[in-house]
Amino acid sequence: MSNKMWGGRFTSAPDAIMEEINASIGFDQRLYAQDIAGSKAHAAMLAAQGIIAAEDAQKIQDGLDTILSEIEAGSFTFRRELEDIHMNVESRLAELIGASAGRLHTARSRNDQVATDFRLYVRDTVDALDAQLADLQKALAEKALANAATVMPGFTHLQTAQPVTFGHHLMAYVEMTARDRSRLKDARARLNECPLGSAALAGTSFPIDREATASALGFARPTANSLDAVSDRDFVMETLSAASICAVHLSRFAEEVVIWTSPSFGLVKLSDAFTTGSSIMPQKRNPDAAELVRAKAGRIIGALTGILVVMKGLPLAYAKDMQEDKEGAFDALSALSLVVAASAGMVRDLTPDAERMKAAAGQGYSTATDLADWLVRALNIPFREAHHITGRIVGIAAEKGLALEDVPLADMKAVDARINDDVYSVLSVECSVNSRVSYGGTAPSQVRTQAERWLKLLNGE
């Protein structure tokens, strides 16, 4: 008796281990909507080209609609012995409409079918991620606008460097997220070509209309080379690359949330909505949402590494190795969606401790650069000399245990007699941030301008 899927060339069923390693229905069933959409477009094109009868095409369309309803209702039975989503749908279609179902696979292969399904899935996922990332940007920009003048320490090497504003810090992530969205959009534009009609690898002798199926499925054009269409997965690699960069950005933000919420810093607070407690230490409030955002970057980067390794040694065209392209991608893109949502939630939940932030911003002589700049601007001293003068004044402050703005004028004049009492106009943290009015700087006026610009863009104004 021949195998139902592979026809007369095979006379017996596969070994149980072969069935186990070969089956993908456990994970590729999530492609059901894309698979059915592709089949409907293909059937309509076959009928329009006179390749199959209109009556058969209508039966196929009706049967596919029924299958879609069954899957969405949870009443469809996925059968492991049928390997994948394509054969599960086709088998059920045969049960529903009989012999007409066998005409659906005319002029196509599972190779171009899965390539089409996967492109549709990734495209749909990118669109959903773009909307989520826009919401994250909005959350960041709104919080930034509300905290445009909230002074906090800016760090380099995780050491206090210069005062910045909390709004300015948050707007940095708006810009990062904008580039993440741009990379995903670029990936979407390149993947938006339709493989359907490439068949197994060489195209088909049937008079198909690939432009029609591409258009019906919302693709910009059909793929131009049938070998490339069925054998490459660079659209997955590129999307996962963009996803990995995005995950790194979110992980960096999550790490900052972990640091900022620790009692040692105490710069921001998260509510019960995004923290958990300890089973033994009743005082603990753990930033678990942030920690999990940080950790899931590893899964996303791992998926990118996985598919790069799978594809690196494959000759053209299709090889079964490529079945391993999906599970990691599904997991990674789902994880990214979750961490974007969690990040947006944390941003909206964050409450800055303005007093603690301001106090921390003044530590470590953070306005020393302002002093050096004042020496250049007010006294026409070359910056390198001003740098040395400032260093000596910072040394006096450290020796006497004083903040920079509390160093007596006499002590400053002892370092350089040209210094006058106007110097105190630049030494507070508020004066420091207010002076940074260069485009993209931390001055509250600049932060408000940037936040308002982004909010108008994000609100479609």
Catalytic one of 157, 205, 264, 279 = 157
86 tagged catalytic: no
CA gap 159, 101 in Å, rounded: 68
- The answer to whether the CB of 364 falls within 8 A of the CB of 271 is no
Omega cis (within 30) before 254: no
Count of C-beta atoms within a 10 Å radius of residue 409:
12
Query: What per-residue confidence (pLDDT) applies to 21?
Result: 73
CA gap 237, 226 in Å, rounded: 19
Query: What per-residue confidence (pLDDT) applies to 279?
Result: 73
Please, which contacts does 92-96 make with residues 24 or more away whose CB atoms are closer than 8 Å? 92/67, 93/60, 93/63, 93/64, 93/67, 96/63, 96/66, 96/67
C-alpha distances in angstroms, 213 versus 48, 226, 228? 11, 15, 18
Query: What per-residue confidence (pLDDT) applies to 12?
Result: 60
CA gap 128, 194 in Å, rounded: 20
**Residue closest to 435 by CA, chosen among 424, 444, 448:** 444
* Chain centre to alpha carbon of residue 87: 32
CA gap 331, 101 in Å, rounded: 32
Query: What per-residue confidence (pLDDT) applies to 449?
Result: 98
| Residue 422 burial (10 A CB sphere; 0-12, 13-18, 19+) | exposed
CA gap 70, 89 in Å, rounded: 11
Q: What is the mean pLDDT of each run of 10 residues along the chain (461 residues)?
A: 49 66 80 96 98 98 98 94 91 96 96 96 98 98 98 93 96 98 98 97 97 98 97 96 98 97 94 82 84 96 97 92 92 97 97 95 91 94 95 94 92 94 92 94 97 97 77
Reading the block at residue 22, the tokens are: 């070969």
Query: What per-residue confidence (pLDDT) applies to 2?
Result: 39
Strand runs labelled E in 254-347:
268-269
- The answer to whether the CB of 217 falls within 8 A of the CB of 102 is no
pTM for the complete prediction?
0.91
| Residue 367 burial (10 A CB sphere; 0-12, 13-18, 19+) | buried
Question: Residue 44: left (phi > 0), alpha (psi -120 to 50), or beta?
Answer: alpha
157 tagged catalytic: yes
Cβ neighbors of 253 (< 8 A, separation 6 or more) are 173, 293, 343
Do the bridges between strand 159-165 and strand 193-194 make them parallel or antiparallel, or are there none, so unpaired?
unpaired
CA gap 362, 236 in Å, rounded: 47
Catalytic one of 69, 262, 271, 278 = 278
